Structure formats: C-alpha cells, structure tokens
C-alpha cells in the first residue's frame, strides 16, 4: 500500500469510528428520551388507576345508599315483584328475599338450667350438660326461636320472559 492509500484508509477508519461514536451517543439520547416517555406513561397510568379506584369507591357507596332506599320503597309498595324495563331492553326485577334462621336464647336457657351464661359457649359445653342430664332437647326447642328477615333482591333479566323460554325448550324443533 502506498502512503496515500494508507492515509486515505486511516481517514476512512477514523470517520467510521466518529460515526459509530455519534450513533452511540444518539442512541443514548434516544434511550434517555424513551426512558422519560416511559416514565411519564407509567405516572399517568398510575394516576388514572387510583382515580378509577376512587370513582369506584364513590359509586359503590352511592349504590349502597340507592339499594337501601329501594328496599324501603319496595317494602312500602307491598308488591310481590316489581319489573322495570331498562333502557337497553333488559328488565330489572325486584323481589323479596326471605331468610330464616333459628336462634337459641342462651340467657334464658342458662337461667332455666341455673348455670352462668359463660358456661354455654361451645358445642362441648352443650354435650357436657346433656351428658350430665342438665340439658334436654326439649329445653333447646323451648328456647329456640325462628327469626325471619325479609330483604330485597334486585336482578337483571333478558327481555324474553321465562314462560316463552320454557315453551320453546319443551316444543320439539322441526327441521
């Protein structure tokens, strides 16, 4: 190689190295810009997430109050079922929900057995008193009452009535 060719080659190699360094620094700048953009997206998403949670909490609280108001109005109406057509064509159905439970009055039972109320806490205590003959099934029946609680249940139904669906499934399909 001649001196001129060698100088030319050195110049080309040096130019390539500068280009590589410039490209590397440009990539570093782009990477930094990308990092800032990503960081801003994360911050924005986190803010929206917590805003949505707050809105959800507020809506749930409002729905709870609306449900309580609906319960009172439903009980005052005295109707067995109320059907309301919603804007999307579905039906909102309000029906009573009756729950019954048996409650044992431990205070009166303890008084009748002449033992402190604290001694009638666990199933083991009841077994022990039954084994001793101090507690009988009749005593439990005597001090057990049934509590009925009527609440409102609200559901959504599709526009077709249940009777139609029942008839359609009962009728054979002719093809």
Same domain, 71 and 110: no
59 pLDDT tier (thresholds 50, 70, 90): very high
Q: Which of 17, 47, 78 is the last residue of a domain?
A: 78
Separation of alpha carbons 57 and 50, rounded Å: 10
Q: Which of 62, 78, 94 is the last residue of a domain?
A: 78
Is 171 inside a domain boundary?
Answer: no
Is 174 inside a domain boundary?
Answer: no
Specify whether the CB–CB gap between 99 and 149 falls below 8 A.
yes
Same domain, 64 and 102: no
Q: How high is the pLDDT of residue 18?
A: 58
Same domain, 70 and 105: no
Specify whether the CB–CB gap between 150 and 75 falls below 8 A.
yes
Is 164 inside a domain boundary?
Answer: no
Closest CA to 125 of 141, 109, 138: 109
Judge whether residue 172 has pLDDT over 50: no
HEC string of 60-121 equals HHHHHHHHHHHHHHHHHHCCCCEEEECCCCCEEEEEEEEEEEEEECHHHHHHHHCCCHHHCC
pLDDT digits (tens, 9 = 90+) for 82-128: 999 999 889 999 999 889 999 999 999 999 988 998 888 898 998 99
Q: Which of 49, 78, 107 is the last residue of a domain?
A: 78
Q: What residues make up the domain containing 42?
A: 1-78
Same domain, 21 and 4: yes
Mean pLDDT of 157-174: 55
Collapse the DSSP code of 50 into the 3-class scheme (helix H, G, I; strand E, B; otherwise coil) and give the result: helix
Same domain, 50 and 95: no
pLDDT digits (tens, 9 = 90+) for 5-51: 666 566 655 556 655 555 555 556 668 889 999 999 999 999 999 99
HEC string of 123-169 equals HHHHHHHHHHCCCCHHHHHHCEEEEEEEEEEEEEECCCCHHHHHHHH
Does 161 or 99 have the greater pLDDT score?
99
Mean pLDDT of 73-89: 89
Same domain, 16 and 71: yes
Same domain, 3 and 65: yes
- The DSSP 8-state label assigned to residue 122 in this structure reads S
Q: Which of 22-26, 60-64, 155-159, 166-170 shows the highest mean pLDDT?
A: 60-64
Same domain, 3 and 53: yes
Judge whether residue 53 has pLDDT over 90: yes
Is 172 inside a domain boundary?
Answer: no
Provide the domain count of the chain: 2
Same domain, 20 and 48: yes
């Amino acid at each position: 190689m001649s001196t001129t060719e060698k100088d030319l080659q050195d110049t080309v190699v040096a130019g390539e190295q500068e280009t590589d360094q410039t490209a590397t620094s440009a990539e570093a700048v782009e990477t930094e810009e990308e990092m800032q953009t990503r960081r801003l997206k994360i911050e924005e998403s986190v803010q929206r997430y917590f805003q949505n949670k707050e809105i959800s909490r507020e809506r749930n609280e409002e729905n709870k109050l609306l449900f309580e108001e609906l319960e009172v109005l439903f009980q005052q109406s005295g109707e067995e079922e109320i059907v309301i057509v919603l804007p999307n064509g579905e039906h909102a159905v309000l029906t009573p929900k009756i729950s019954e439970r048996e409650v044992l009055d431990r205070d009166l039972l303890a008084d009748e057995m002449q033992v402190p109320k604290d001694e009638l806490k666990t199933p083991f205590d009841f077994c022990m008193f039954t084994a001793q003959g101090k507690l009988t099934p009749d005593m439990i029946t005597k001090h057990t009452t049934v509590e009925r609680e009527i609440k409102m249940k609200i559901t959504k139904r599709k526009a077709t009535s249940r009777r139609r669906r029942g008839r359609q499934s009962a009728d054979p399909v002719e093809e």
